[in-house]
Amino acid sequence: MSGPMIRVLLADDEHLIRGAIATLLGLEPDLEVVAQVSRGDEVATAVREHRPDVVVLDIEMPGMDGLTAAEGLPGQAMIILSSFGRPGYLRRALAAGVRGFIPKDASADELATAIRKVHAGGRYLDPEMAASAMMAGDSPLTDRERSALSLAAEGASVRQIATALHLTEGTVRNYLSSAIAKLGATNRITAIRAAQEKGWL
């Protein structure tokens, strides 16, 4: 097979990792890394400029996280590279039109395979990730509960959360309390940890 090369854009904030992956992919005869960016908010510009066939996005990046960046690129063939299995991320990614999702502890072969599949219009989901996403299911939190807990995770007090959401303090306490209950936690801190663990935050 000697068709044109698959043009790949790589977005990851860690230079060493990004360079290493680029080198690995460059060893594949049919893949070509045409551009690299280190910030989520540079992805859109780079896509317009280089018109890659497939975009590989890390989730954790400064400026804008990979999932948000993906949501701004409808129709683009994309693969999310996730540091660790937060099942909630997989749902958001699929909702954003991402067709490939693999954890960083997959092998390089797996990444190359995913790129080829996604470029051909197919899907590639890491089997373990998919399974754990099934197990974890949807977030049990309502919108309000998630917002309140999310602000609490930034260190905001009940009063500050109430102001930000235009609610009474009592209401905020109630949302936090029910979030704690739904997450099987006993206080704000364990609830935050549990929600972040699942990618529900």
Partner DNA sequence: TCGCCACGATGACAAATGTCAAAGGACGCT
Partner DNA sequence: AGCGTCCTTTGACATTTGTCATCGTGGCGA
Task: State the binding partner of 15 from a second copy, DNA, none, CB within 5 to 8 A by kind.
Answer: a second copy
Cα–Cα distance between 9 and 184 in angstroms, integer? Answer: 41
Task: State the binding partner of 171 from DNA, a second copy, none, CB within 5 to 8 A by kind.
Answer: DNA
Q: Between 51 and 193, whose beta carbon lies closer to a second copy?
A: 193
Q: Between 168 and 190, whose beta carbon lies closer to a second copy?
A: 190
Q: Interface with a second copy includes 107 (CB under 8 A)? A: yes
Which of 104, 116, 144, 173 forms a contact with a second copy (CB under 8 A)?
A: 104
Task: State the binding partner of 164 from a second copy, DNA, none, CB within 5 to 8 A by kind.
Answer: none
- Neighbouring-strand partners of residue 8: 33, 54
What token pair was written down for 68?
Answer: 């948000």
What do you get for the CA distance between the two ends of the chain, in Å? Answer: 45
In the complex, the smallest distance separating the C-beta of residue 60 from a second copy, rounded to whole angstroms, is 9
Contact 82, 124 (CB under 8 A): no
What sign does the CA torsion over 23, 24, 28, 30 have? negative
Contact 82, 129 (CB under 8 A): yes
Q: Which residues contact 48 (CB under 8 A, 6 or more apart)?
A: none
**Site stretch for a second copy (CB under 8 A), options 3-11, 69-77, 99-107, 130-138:** 99-107
What sign does the CA torsion over 159, 160, 166, 172 have? negative
Q: Interface with a second copy includes 193 (CB under 8 A)? A: yes
Q: Interface with DNA includes 194 (CB under 7 A)? A: no
Number of helical (H) and strand (E) elements in the chain, helices listed first: 10, 6
Which of 120, 155, 166, 170 forms a contact with a second copy (CB under 8 A)?
A: 155
Count CB atoms within 10 A of the CB of residue 162.
19
**Site stretch for a second copy (CB under 8 A), options 66-74, 91-99, 132-140, 151-159:** 151-159
What token pair was written down for 6?
Answer: 């698959």
In the complex, the smallest distance separating the C-beta of residue 184 from a second copy, rounded to whole angstroms, is 11
Q: Interface with DNA includes 167 (CB under 7 A)? A: yes
Residues lying near a second copy in the complex (CB under 8 A) are found at: 13-17, 19-21, 23-24, 27, 38, 81, 83, 103-108, 110-111, 152-153, 155, 157, 185-190, 192-193
